[in-house]
Amino acid sequence: MQFITFMIGPLVGAAIGGFTNRVAIRMLFRPYTAKYIGKLHIPLTPGIIPKEKANIAKAIGSTISDNLLNSQVLSATLLSDDMCAKLSTAVDTLQTRLLSSQASLRHHLLRYLTPDELDSLSTQLQSDATHAIYLKLADKALGDKVASLAIDQVMQHLSEGFLGSIKAGIFDLLRNSIQSRLADIINEMLHNNAQQMVADLLHTEVDRLLSMPVCDICRGKEELFDRLRTILLKAYRMMVENSLPRMLGTLNIQRIVEDRINDMDMAETEQLVTTIMSKELKALVWFGVLLGFIMGFVTNII
């Protein structure tokens, strides 16, 4: 009986300690809004976290922006040897996959484009290339150059032997008029026919290229993949070094974090925190139980 009486104090202290700690934890979040009796504001409402939610969001946003997701930290991570090695490995994987693929280039492109988009892109590229090549072929200087080269070849063949020298001499007297006439013929031919000729040639070649197996297109071009790897790594490094600070400034990570926290429902916030810290919060409750038990035991001794 005396033992039971002695233990009442520690047990009551343990119950009070556990209960008060549990209430204190709950009061971190509850109530979610301020409570009133008439116009009289009830103290300790809302809970600490709802009351200071804006300041907490600002502090978390500032901490993440300044220390966790700043340009120095992200640059060090994105430009680490491991990240660059992964990028290089991705190029190697692409090379291996393409060199072993029997599927056509059209088949690969249709993974990213619809048939209509691919046809439209192909037509546009052919049209642009045809126009660019035609402008070069329709240049009057090209006809003059071709005519001059043709006359030079004729002169070279005519100059062989004694009679050839005589023929070449006579031909040379007529060179300017012949070359001018030939240049006009060539320019007129190119002006009238070059665009259609180029368009037909490009159409045929593009269709042939799109129908070729990717492995045939890539075979023997391993050097291009080495250049691609070098160019890709250089472009990636330049993008991170030059564009990352500007991108982070545009994103405004601090504001994004603040807005996300402020937009969170308090019930959602409470569930998130209690889920992440469930063990720690339970330990805090049991610590209250232990401390209350000890205090009740000490009180009995005193």
Q: What is the H or E stretch that residue 170 is in?
A: helix 162-173
| 120 and 96 assigned to the same domain | no
Looking at the fold, whether 118 and 207 belong to one and the same domain comes out as yes
Identify whether 21 is part of a domain. yes
Mean pLDDT of all residues in 56-71: 88
Reported pTM: 0.55
Q: Is the pLDDT of residue 235 over 50?
A: yes
Residue 107: inside a domain: no
221 domain-assigned: no
**Banded pLDDT at 116 (limits 50, 70, 90):** very high
**88 in the same domain as 29:** yes
Q: Are 141 and 235 found together in one domain?
A: no
Under the banding of pLDDT at 50, 70 and 90, the label for residue 163 is very low
**List of residues 6+ apart from 272 with CB closer than 8 A:** 264
Residue reference for tokens 């004729």: 154
Residue-range definition of the domain harbouring residue 17: 1-102+228-302
Sequence letter at residue 199: A
In this structure, the answer to whether residues 98 and 233 fall within a common structural domain is yes
Assess if residue 108 is contained within a domain.
no
Number of domains in the chain: 2
Q: What angle do CA 167, 172, 176 make, to 5 degrees?
A: 140
Q: What is the CA radius of gyration of the chain?
A: 42
pLDDT at 158 over 60: no
- Count of other CB atoms within 10 angstroms of residue 20: 14
Question: Phi/psi class of residue 140: alpha, beta or left (left: φ > 0; alpha: ψ in -120 to 50)?
Answer: alpha
> 213 preceded by cis ω (within 30°)?
no
Q: Are 37 and 69 members of one domain?
A: yes
Q: What is d(CA 150, CA 131) in angstroms, rounded to the nearest whole number?
A: 26
Q: Are 270 and 29 in contact (CB under 8 A)?
A: yes
Q: Classify residue 152: in a domain, yes or no.
A: yes
156 and 249 inside one domain = no
Residue 25 has pLDDT above 70, yes or no: yes
Question: If you average pLDDT over residues 101-124, what whole number do you get?
Answer: 90
Q: Which of 153-167, 174-188, 233-247 has the lowest mean pLDDT?
A: 153-167
Q: Do 43 and 191 fall into the same domain? A: no
Of the candidates 61, 67, 53, 52, which has an alpha carbon nearest to the alpha carbon of residue 258?
61
Same domain (yes/no): 118, 94? no
The answer to whether residues 295 and 146 belong to one domain is no
Q: What is the pLDDT of residue 146?
A: 78
**Shared domain check, 302 and 155:** no
- Asked whether residue 109 is domain-assigned, the answer is no
